Amino acid sequence: MDIRTRRAYEDMAENDGYRVLVDRLWPRGVAKDDLKLDDWCKNVAPSDDLRKWFDHDPDKWDEFQSRYRKELDSSDAVDDLIERVKAGRVTLIYGAKDEAHNNAVALREYLRDKVG
């Protein structure tokens, strides 16, 4: 299982595999053609309420992960992504500045737990 994360503002790598944007909002200042995505899974992104509550505050990271996992558990949208992970390398694309505390990192851990 190979799940990577990459900021939307970084250049694509040839070995990214299946590239999927996992934010509900399109990254500011990035042209759609430049991002070179295979998919945009808005429905696996945190809800607007959760995203606004978290506000990329590292002090809320543990609670954010817990709440986000509950949202993912109650959604069928993550099932397709789980199948993609089983099939090969997946790169989760995100727009946040914080590379350690963002929904793509939390989603990667969730997927790793689900796929095992």
Structure tokens that stand for 51 in this block: 């995203």
| End-to-end CA, the chain | 8
Structure tokens that stand for 18 in this block: 């299946």
DSSP string, 28-97: TT--HHHH--SEE-GGGSPPHHHHHHHTT-GGGHHHHHHHHHHHHHT-STHHHHHHHHHHS-EEEEE--S
Residue range 66-103, pLDDT digits in tens: 999 999 999 888 999 999 999 999 999 999 999 999 99
Res 85: pLDDT? 95
Residue range 8-47, pLDDT digits in tens: 999 999 999 999 999 999 999 999 888 999 999 999 999 9
Residues 70 and 78: their CA atoms lie apart, in Å, by 12
Res 93: pLDDT? 98
Categorize the per-residue pLDDT at 60 as very low, low, confident or very high, splitting at 50, 70 and 90.
very high
- 61: pLDDT strictly greater than 90: yes
Annotated domain spans of the chain: 3-115
Residues 53 and 12: their CA atoms lie apart, in Å, by 30
Res 35: pLDDT? 92
Res 116: pLDDT? 80
Structure tokens that stand for 109 in this block: 């851990």
Res 77: pLDDT? 87
